[in-house]
Amino acid sequence: MPEKTLKLDATQEGLLQAAHILRSGGLVAIPTETVYGLAGDARNDTAVARIFEAKGRPHFNPLIVHVSDLAMARKLAVFDAMAEAVAAAFWPGALTLVLPLRPDAGLSPLVTAGLQSVAIRMPDHAVAHHLLQTFGGPLAAPSANPSGRVSPTKAIHVERGLGGRIDAILEGGDCQVGLESTILGLDGPPVLLRPGGIPLEALEAMLGPIGHGGNAAKPNAPGQLASHYAPEAGVRLGVTQPDPGEIWVGFGPGCTGAQISLSANGDLVEAAANLFQSLLDADKLAGPDGRIGYAPIPEIGLGRAINDRLRRAAAPRPQTI
């Protein structure tokens, strides 16, 4: 964790420095028109794990990916005619679209929380736009506040909440919208996943009546997207001695013989960065009727979020038809 949080001005030099920090896997709080976001390279597992660590989030929810332009967005998600039309009408702006993830998107699976969809938005803010251009890639950015606190609309709010926990804050003045983006699910019939800066009426004027998608703040709540989180193989937790034939996912130096390790030296940021990939890899090794055993993870810091996700993976499955 950085000792000191740099304050960067939105000058050419400040933007170059912010982009450099992001390229090295660091975290920079950035202004957008909605709220300040805590940005990290969306393709870098460790950077994304650090976002959750810095916010102190007790669970991994999927994050919004910010892009500078449509060309960047089209590399990440599949845009059908409706998605193209909505993007043309509302981007840049306070609207996030949830779209099918492209298999070659190259995003960290932690950004999408292992889902086959991705939330994308093109911010309408000159500083955010120039930074995204300078960086040249997608940035994952939830609101730049500690978990459970209100979203920041000024750089000073970010400093009070996350100073000393992140690498830099890019100054960009007050956020004009002041609340988060509206989230529209377009990976099926249009559905409102979170009300926000763009009114529902504006979307309905274009698309007709839009259904409500329940609690998008908890897309992993029971019944919602739950199946996406579970591997096909059965999962057992707290395994210090794997059963015969069980794929063992280790954590820490004691797990000799584990086929996969979340972190050989017991680093929770590294373990979080590897978590979703480990579920996919272990599932492949185990096969559909196989079994996966995860070594115990301490219930501290990012360990809480890791255990939350693993408990979901290990929970009894609802019957699918």
Q: What is the residue-wise DSSP string for 128-145?
A: HHHHHHHHTS-EE--BSS
Q: Which residues contact 152 (CB under 8 A, 6 or more apart)?
A: 29, 35, 36, 143, 144, 145, 158, 161
DSSP H helical segments within the chain, as ranges?
Answer: 12-23, 45-55, 70-76, 81-90, 126-135, 155-162, 200-207, 268-286, 302-314
Q: Which is nearer to Mg ion, 15 or 65 (CB)?
A: 65
Q: Examine residue 92 and say whether the peptide bond preceding it is cis (omega within 30 degrees of 0).
A: yes
Which of 194, 291, 304, 309 forms a contact with ligand TXA (CB under 6 A)? 194
Quote the least distance from Cβ 281 to ligand TXA, whole Å: 21
Stretch of 87-95, 142-150, 263-271, 296-304 contacting Mg ion, by CB under 5 A? 142-150
What token pair was written down for 226? 């739950």
Q: Which is nearer to ligand TXA, 40 or 219 (CB)?
A: 219
Does 278 participate in binding ligand TXA (rule CB under 6 A)? no
Angle at 1 between CA 96 and CA 53, to 5 degrees: 40
Shortest Cβ 236–ligand TXA spacing (Å): 28
Residue 34's binding partner among Mg ion, ligand TXA, none (Cβ under 5 to 8 angstroms by kind) is ligand TXA
Query: CB-wise, 152 or 250, nearer to ligand TXA?
Result: 152
Angle at 57 between CA 53 and CA 63, to 5 degrees: 90
- The stretch among 78-86, 140-148, 229-237, 266-274 that binds ligand TXA (CB under 6 A) is 140-148
Least CB distance to Mg ion at residue 47 (A): 18
Cβ atoms of 217 and 194 within 8 Å: the answer is yes
Q: How far is the CB of 252 from ligand TXA (least distance, A)?
A: 30
Partner from ligand TXA, Mg ion, none binding residue 271, C-beta < 5-8 Å depending on class: none
Which of 43/55 has CB closer to Mg ion?
Answer: 55
The answer to whether residue 5 forms part of the interface with Mg ion (CB under 5 A) is no
Which residue from 143, 153, 220, 261 is in contact with Mg ion, where contact means CB under 5 A?
A: 143
Instruction: Find where tokens 């290990």 sit.
Output: 314
Q: Could you give the strand order of the β-sheet that contains 6-8, starting from the edge strand earlier in sequence?
A: 6-8, 168-170, 28-30, 37-41, 139-140, 64-66, 117-121, 95-100, 182-185, 191-194, 211-212
- Measured from the CB of residue 220, what is the shortest distance to ligand TXA in angstroms? 9
The answer to the question of residue 183 lying near ligand TXA (CB under 6 A) is yes
194/291 with CB nearer ligand TXA = 194
Task: Check: CB of residue 198 under 8 Å from CB of residue 93.
Answer: yes
- CB nearer Mg ion, residue 5 or residue 143: 143
Angle between the 302-314 and 45-55 helix axes, to the nearest 10 degrees? 110
Strand bridging mode 64-66 / 117-121 = parallel
Residues that bind ligand TXA (CB under 6 A): 32, 34-35, 37, 61-64, 96, 98, 112, 115, 117-119, 121, 141-143, 180-181, 183, 193-194, 216-217, 219
